Amino acid sequence: MGRHTWDLRPSPTSQSLQSAQSSRSAQSAQSSAQEAQQIVNLTELLVSRISDFEAARPNILRAVPCCEVLRSLGGALRGIRPRRNPSFTTATIMEFWSHSWHGGVWIKVLTMFMLKNGPMAVCFGWLGALLMAALFATGMLPSYERVPFLQTGARMYPFGPWSLCTATLVATFTLRCWRRKTSVFLDVLCIDQDDARLKTEALLSIGAFLKKSQSLHVFWDETWVRRLWCVFELAAFIKSHGKEDVAANLVIRPTLLGTCSVSIFGGCFVTSLAFLCVPFDDFELGYVLFAVGAFLGSYYAISSMRRFYASVEILLQQLAGFRLEQALSHCCTTGHRNSDGEVVMCDREIIQLCISKWFGSVEQFEASVRSDLSGALSDQLGNGSFSYLWLILVTSPIQWSHLDMVAARLSADDWSGAAVTATINLTYACWAFPSICRFAMLLACRARHPCSGFVADQLKTLMVFSLCVPISLVFTTLLPGRSNADMLS
């Protein structure tokens, strides 16, 4: 939630706000004691309006299609105002997006793209991969002869990384351009930023926005828990939905998830490309060349995994020691004066009173966040963010390169070789690579704490990579492949 002041000018539909406004307009002519009393009265009025989860007037609930939030690479989140207001009135909102304006913008936008468009991007990538595999198998695309790693038939096959490269391009394009229509609440697009009265009415209705939202999606960075309005959104969602509903519909994802996922995806692409291009007629040399490609592809991925788990640890610490008083509000940092020197009301007071009304006391709300929520969310923040399905998704380039390997056999009319390669590669894709990836994440989690020096920190990442090499070798030699190719061919 952004900066604001409570503007209570006359509203044609709100009698109570009219009386509040008339008393406020008389402030300048009255004593400071009267002024203070009026602020108390206004505070009580605001608290009663917000805490009952009712909208200030009909048709104030607004949402935007997800694609409008992501338009212009998340322009709305980077302070770019859309030419026309993309929001629409609605009775229910599918996803309420809660985020802090004080964290990194680009990593947050990337995470939104990955979470919302990532699965569709991979689906379209697969369509591109299958199409190119069919074209390659029928001899319609250029190729180069090479000795493959998996010797499941002939010694040499015509190869081409067509599925891998096309699918990656299609997936990247879909990630950027897919227009997902899910209705979303994003403060800057669903609350009028120009009309102070409309803005105040929307803020008065923030409880109603949360009550009418089917799920709350938190894009969590280190600053989120320190922003009073973000914490308030969480409190309002818990109160208006009940514990069981909250467990099912509260989705918390660290904003580093996008960077980490993209770096794993990129690492898999580079490694797979090396695997498709390196000739294995001199096996040792081929393996060294492949290892260089794998190192270049994996190093940054491991580094970002370490940063991801370091951020998750900070988030869990923040949850475990959660105190409402640590959260900041813009009004308090400006001494409750606007740019014209006028007194503005304190958000903190209003929010604390609402929370006390809902949970009995601020302390009870804090205890609820520390115990119930912290336990439920610890898995979401760590392994839940990287579920098996998500790992399959971010390691897609490996599967697409496997399709190229099958297409190579098919183009040489080696159907049995293609069937064996497909079976082996399916096992790799569904079991070996997600397991290697999970092992790498486990090591990265263990080595998450950053070192003080740059070189020392890079060495720590290098150490994680080095430890992943033997486990990768174990996995790849356990499976049928080069080692027992004679048996299969």
Round to whole Å and give the CA distance between 215 and 198.
Answer: 25
C-beta closer to Zn ion: residue 102 or 180: 102
Round to whole Å and give the CA distance between 426 and 420.
Answer: 10
Question: What is the closest distance, in whole angstroms, from the C-beta atom of residue 3 to Zn ion in the complex?
Answer: 12
Q: Specify burial of residue 163 (Cβ count, 10 A radius: 0-12, 13-18, 19+).
A: buried
Sketch the per residue contact string, 185 through 224, with Zn ion: x for CB under 5 A, - otherwise.
----------------------------------------
Question: What is the closest distance, in whole angstroms, from the C-beta atom of residue 213 to Zn ion in the complex?
Answer: 26
Sketch the per residue contact string, 291 through 330, with Zn ion: x for CB under 5 A, - otherwise.
--------------------------------------x-
Question: What is the closest distance, in whole angstroms, from the C-beta atom of residue 328 to Zn ion in the complex?
Answer: 9
CA distances from 227 to 223, 224, 345 (A): 7, 6, 17
Question: Is 348 near Zn ion (CB under 5 A)?
Answer: yes
Contact segment (CB under 5 A) with Zn ion among 29-37, 244-252, 340-348, 426-434 equals: 340-348
C-beta closer to Zn ion: residue 291 or 328: 328
- From the list 391, 2, 349, the residue with the least C-alpha distance to 194 is 2
Per CB under 5 A, the list member of 346, 392, 462, 485 interacting with Zn ion is 346
Residue showing tokens 């990129």? 266
Question: Is 332 near Zn ion (CB under 5 A)?
Answer: yes
Contact segment (CB under 5 A) with Zn ion among 9-17, 229-237, 267-275, 343-351 equals: 343-351
C-beta closer to Zn ion: residue 93 or 350: 350
Which two structure tokens, joined as six digits, stand for 192?
């009028």
CA distances from 470 to 5, 284, 477 (A): 59, 16, 10
Round to whole Å and give the CA distance between 225 and 319.
Answer: 8
For 89, phi and psi rounded to 5 degrees? -75, 145
C-beta closer to Zn ion: residue 146 or 336: 336
Question: What is the closest distance, in whole angstroms, from the C-beta atom of residue 336 to Zn ion in the complex?
Answer: 6
C-beta closer to Zn ion: residue 351 or 444: 351
C-beta closer to Zn ion: residue 31 or 333: 333
Residue type, 27: Q
Question: What is the closest distance, in whole angstroms, from the C-beta atom of residue 329 to Zn ion in the complex?
Answer: 5
Contact segment (CB under 5 A) with Zn ion among 274-282, 346-354, 436-444, 467-475 equals: 346-354
Residues facing residue 450 across a β-bridge: none
Round to whole Å and give the CA distance between 182 and 90.
Answer: 12
Question: What is the closest distance, in whole angstroms, from the C-beta atom of residue 359 to Zn ion in the complex?
Answer: 20
CA distances from 99 to 29, 118, 290, 328, 334 (A): 40, 20, 41, 14, 22
Q: Specify burial of residue 437 (Cβ count, 10 A radius: 0-12, 13-18, 19+).
A: buried
Question: Is 4 near Zn ion (CB under 5 A)?
Answer: no
Question: What is the closest distance, in whole angstroms, from the C-beta atom of residue 224 to Zn ion in the complex?
Answer: 19
C-beta closer to Zn ion: residue 227 or 348: 348
Q: Count how many residues are written for the chain.
A: 489
C-beta closer to Zn ion: residue 198 or 332: 332
C-beta closer to Zn ion: residue 43 or 193: 43
C-beta closer to Zn ion: residue 235 or 268: 235
Question: What is the closest distance, in whole angstroms, from the C-beta atom of residue 345 to Zn ion in the complex?
Answer: 8
DSSP annotation of 252: E
Question: What is the closest distance, in whole angstroms, from the C-beta atom of residue 468 to Zn ion in the complex?
Answer: 50
Question: What is the closest distance, in whole angstroms, from the C-beta atom of residue 245 to Zn ion in the complex?
Answer: 31
C-beta closer to Zn ion: residue 217 or 227: 227
SS3 329: coil
Which two structure tokens, joined as six digits, stand for 122?
């991979």
DSSP annotation of 31: -
Per CB under 5 A, the list member of 312, 331, 377, 410 interacting with Zn ion is 331
* Total interface residues for Zn ion by CB under 5 A: 5
Which two structure tokens, joined as six digits, stand for 51?
């805490």
Going 293 to 299 to 305 to 308, the CA torsion angle's sign is negative
C-beta closer to Zn ion: residue 346 or 376: 346
Residue type, 92: T
Question: What is the closest distance, in whole angstroms, from the C-beta atom of residue 360 to Zn ion in the complex?
Answer: 23
Round to whole Å and give the CA distance between 195 and 187.
Answer: 14
Question: What is the closest distance, in whole angstroms, from the C-beta atom of residue 188 to Zn ion in the complex?
Answer: 21
Residues 393-422 that bind Zn ion (CB under 5 A): none
Query: In b/e form, how buried is each residue of 32-48, taking b as 16+ CB within 10 angstroms?
Result: eeebeebbeebbebbbe
C-beta closer to Zn ion: residue 256 or 331: 331
Neighbours of 19 (CB within 10 A): 13
Question: What is the closest distance, in whole angstroms, from the C-beta atom of residue 331 to Zn ion in the complex?
Answer: 4
Round to whole Å and give the CA distance between 27 and 30.
Answer: 5
Which residues make up the interface to Zn ion (CB under 5 A)? 329, 331-332, 346, 348
